[in-house]
Structure 1
Amino acid sequence: MELLEAVVLGVIQGVFEWLPVSSEGINSLIMVNFFGKTLLDAAVIAIWLHTGTLLAALVYFRDDMLKLFRNFPLYLKNPKKETDTNTLTSFLIISTFLTGVVGLPLFLFGIGKANISGATATALIGILLILTGLLQKYSKKAIDKKDITKGDAALVGGLQAFSVLPGISRSGITVSVLLLRNYDARSALKLSFLMSIPAVLAAEVGLALLGRITLDAYSLVSVVISFAFGILTIDALLKIGGRINFGNFCIILGVLSITAVLL
């Protein structure tokens, strides 16, 4: 990774992570078309870039995370006790587990075996962006707040795993599914980003164990930049993301990507 690449990718990750438009897909398009990366290399770097926005999310949701951390010993003693904190803890554990169960083989036997680049990778990312856009366009918004269930945790956790594919927006797919399950927009957004914290952390550990992460000065620069821009933009963009349907943006970007390949 060169300095220009680190700066560009870090800024995009820090800004677009909070919008349901697939920061991974946008960064992968740039890496494949401008920096000569294969789809596999682009996916690995895109996941690595989430380290910065993971830290930004930890800072932003620090009160929620501290509450969960302090309650965890009590949760282990009596996980069936019905409290809001216990319910949220169970949701995060179940969703993270299902993300790992589905996501690991998807990465190893999907992206890991499909060492494609150039036009093919661009077209694939374009198709996945269109699918993300369609899902968002036809999701509905609930008015009344719905109680969190373990079944919803399993469903959204399993679907979150598909965001390992560049072009599938993690926040887009999770928020859309939660809206379809009758969660109100505010709860859906908060749950989506809280569940991203353990999922991204697990993904980083998994990539490290697989020997996929290569640390160098510019890799660290990209994470610092994504963290800085993430901190600067998270509050405003989460509010925007909760009010605007970005389905059309994803569809247009996907169509443009495919059109560029055909031309």
Structure 2
Amino acid sequence: MNEYWDLIVAILAGVVQGIVEWLPVSSQGNLSLFLILMDISPDHALQLALFLQLGTTLSATLYYRDEILESLEAVPQWRPQSAFTGPNAVTSFVVVACFATGLIGLPIYFLAVDIASELSGGLFIAAIGVLLVLTGVLELASKSVDLAEREDPTFRDAVIVGGFQGLSILPGISRSGVTTSVLLFRSYQAPSAFRLSFLLSIPTGIGAGALIFVTEGGIPGVSLEMAALAVLTSAVVGYATIGILMRIVERIPFWIVCFGLGGLAIVGGGGVTLLVA
């Protein structure tokens, strides 16, 4: 019975990741909530949610394959003086932003895992709720920005966006929501902001999966087979839904969703804590 239950959890976790990764509502936060409800400890839920980004990273790679190939073909012509112009601009943006993400995100990750291991499931859920609400506040604020016609990303854009992306290692802070909102604050049009955000997600997702595997010597909380099944499921579901959900994102104010999910998590997590106490 346990084997069948693990199989169901792995598939459902992959489905959740494959859908919510493309929505600015924190895939890591919502997947962590799901895994905690499936009786996985908060620290293992946090680590597994990070690892499953590998599946949607594969989806994004396939979806943006033409742009990735174009950027790779321009690499031999890369020069420092033209790093942030023309075909090299996106490649330079991604590389610099990833370094900034690592500098900010790595210490936050180790701190978050330590804190999660000490928190009860209810308190951890409530904490995710608070961060979801903060994500909603940022998304709402970005709607009031006057958008200009920005073309190539700059070095400053890369550092700022990468730094904020490092904060999204905390469950409840949406990586796509934060990076897209920051790009909107930097006067990018929404389509360009979404495109840069999801291109940036590819090396970030690979790095997150590698971080978990290297630091933990495996996949915490589940067997390697179940983790592989969850990653495969998230890749298939993610590729099938990315186009549809990207169009939805451009039409729906997802700060409302963040407020709603965050409020439910705060109330629900607080209720669980009181019951346990």
Q: TM-score, normalised by structure 2?
A: 0.89
Give the Cα–Cα distance (whole angstroms) in 2 for the partners of residues 206 and 151 of structure 1: 26
Q: Among the aligned pairs, what percent are the same residue? A: 40
Distance 1:2 1:208, change over 3 A: same
Deviation of residue 142 (structure 1)? 4.5
Q: 1:258 aligns with which of 253, 258, 266?
A: 266
Runs of 4+ deviating beyond 3 Å: 141-144
Q: 1:203 aligns with which of 200, 203, 208?
A: 208
1:79 and 1:86 in contact (8 A); partners too:
no
Question: Which residue type is aligned with residue 39 of structure 1?
Answer: P
Deviation of residue 113 (structure 1)? 4.4
What SS does the aligned partner of 2:80 have? coil
Question: Which residue type is aligned with residue 46 of structure 1?
Answer: A
Deviations 1:62-87 (A, max 9, x none): 01111111222221xx2322632211
Give the Cα–Cα distance (whole angstroms) in 1 for the partners of residues 40 and 22 of structure 2: 25
Deviations 1:31-51 (A, max 9, x none): 11x222222211111111111
Deviations 1:222-255 (A, max 9, x none): 0111011111100111111122220011111111
Any unmatched runs of 5+ in structure 2? 272-277
Are 2:153 and 1:145 aligned? Answer: no
Q: TM-score, normalised by structure 1?
A: 0.94
Deviation of residue 137 (structure 1)? 1.2
Give the Cα–Cα distance (whole angstroms) in 1 for the partners of residues 54 and 25 of structure 2: 18
Distance 1:213 1:84, change over 3 A: farther
Moved more, 114-123 or 88-97: 114-123
Q: 1:12 aligns with which of 12, 16, 26?
A: 16
Are 2:103 and 1:89 aligned? Answer: no
Deviations 1:144-196 (A, max 9, x none): 32131111110010000111111111000011111111110000000000011
Q: 2:35 aligns with which of 31, 34, 38?
A: 31
2:25 and 2:177 in contact (8 A); partners too:
yes
Give the Cα–Cα distance (whole angstroms) in 2 for the partners of residues 143 and 108 of structure 1: 37
Q: 2:49 aligns with which of 10, 35, 46?
A: 46
2:184 and 2:190 in contact (8 A); partners too:
yes
Deviation of residue 211 (structure 1)? 2.5
